């Protein structure tokens, strides 16, 4: 796909981020077209999570611009970027572990719900209607992730694989246009990983999503992504289809360097 062939949802231009003397990202430019499923790979410390942190407002870029849906979001607060349509999951799962599975998803809906604090505080009829609607919507999402049967379970009681799935369910509840998944299959066994990848491909279509996926498992990224960006030591060293990336000498060198 060329950049002009499809509407661009995310456009990153020469984004850099330094931490003290360390340049974690160096003038990275990339785009993601609406509806694409894009992989982001690179050796340890390449800057993948830092890029996610810039895209979701954890840190502002030191220089450069980030455009989401034709709007500049670089340096916005995380909740604002979330409202603009970008939701993420984390490398280390971040659930409300003492809340139930259902509550974890409902919280994300509440952050986007229309009923006001005023109606909630006064417990007006509109509040209860809104609450019922949110419970129903949360249950619908949990069903997709096969977690409805465990909706009353405290999140920390779920298996590791299910906690990862719940985190994705929660991100979806925010109604994102762009879903950023940071190693969603980390710690899963091969069967869980395969199921998760099928699910990601399915939700992409069902929810009309654009997805950026960080993943270490190369065969998994190659199998599911339309295009792949490769970072190494903070710089973008390649961009292409899975087969182009597989045979790219710079990519092979970066990964061999890691093993050495």
C-beta of residue 115 within 8 angstroms of C-beta of residue 130 = yes
C-beta of residue 68 within 8 angstroms of C-beta of residue 85 = yes
Nearest approach, Cβ of residue 255 and ligand ATP (Å)? 12
**15/151 with CB nearer ligand ATP:** 15
Nearest approach, Cβ of residue 44 and ligand ATP (Å)? 4
Give the contacts of 137 (CB within 8 A, at least 6 positions apart): 109, 173
Structure tokens at 176: 């994102």
Nearest approach, Cβ of residue 50 and ligand ATP (Å)? 3
Binding region for ligand ATP (CB under 6 A): 19, 22, 24, 42, 44-50
**90/207 with CB nearer ligand ATP:** 90
Nearest approach, Cβ of residue 84 and ligand ATP (Å)? 22
CA distance 224 to 62: 32
Nearest approach, Cβ of residue 141 and ligand ATP (Å)? 28
**49/239 with CB nearer ligand ATP:** 49
**19/96 with CB nearer ligand ATP:** 19
Strands (E), the chain: 8-19, 22-33, 37-41, 63-68, 71-72, 86-88, 178-182, 210-214, 227-232, 235-240
CA distance 216 to 124: 49
**49/65 with CB nearer ligand ATP:** 49
């Amino acid at each position: 796909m060329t950049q002009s062939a499809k509407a661009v949802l995310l456009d990153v231009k020469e984004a850099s981020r330094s931490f003290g003397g360390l340049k974690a990202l160096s003038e990275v430019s990339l785009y993601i077209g609406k509806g694409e499923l894009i992989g982001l790979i690179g050796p340890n410390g390449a800057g993948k999570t830092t890029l996610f942190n810039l895209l979701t407002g954890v840190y502002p870029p030191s220089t450069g611009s980030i455009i989401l849906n034709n709007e500049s979001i670089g340096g916005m607060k995380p909740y604002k970027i979330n409202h603009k349509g970008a939701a993420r999951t984390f490398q280390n799962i971040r659930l409300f572990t003492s809340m139930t599975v259902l509550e974890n998803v409902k919280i994300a809906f509440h952050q986007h719900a229309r009923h006001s604090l005023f109606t909630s505080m006064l417990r007006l009829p509109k509040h209860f209607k809104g609450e019922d609607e949110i419970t129903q919507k949360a249950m619908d999402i949990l069903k997709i992730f096969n977690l409805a049967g465990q909706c009353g379970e405290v999140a920390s009681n779920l298996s590791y694989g299910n906690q990862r799935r719940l985190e994705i369910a929660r991100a979806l509840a925010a109604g994102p246009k762009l879903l950023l998944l940071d190693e969603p299959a980390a710690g899963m066994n091969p069967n869980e990983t395969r199921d998760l990848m099928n699910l990601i491909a399915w939700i992409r279509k069902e929810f009309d999503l654009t997805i950026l996926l960080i993943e270490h498992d190369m065969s998994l990224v190659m199998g599911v992504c339309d295009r792949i960006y490769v970072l190494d030591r903070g710089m973008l060293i390649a961009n292409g289809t899975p087969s182009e990336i597989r045979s790219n000498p710079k990519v092979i060198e970066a990964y061999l360097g890691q093993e050495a």
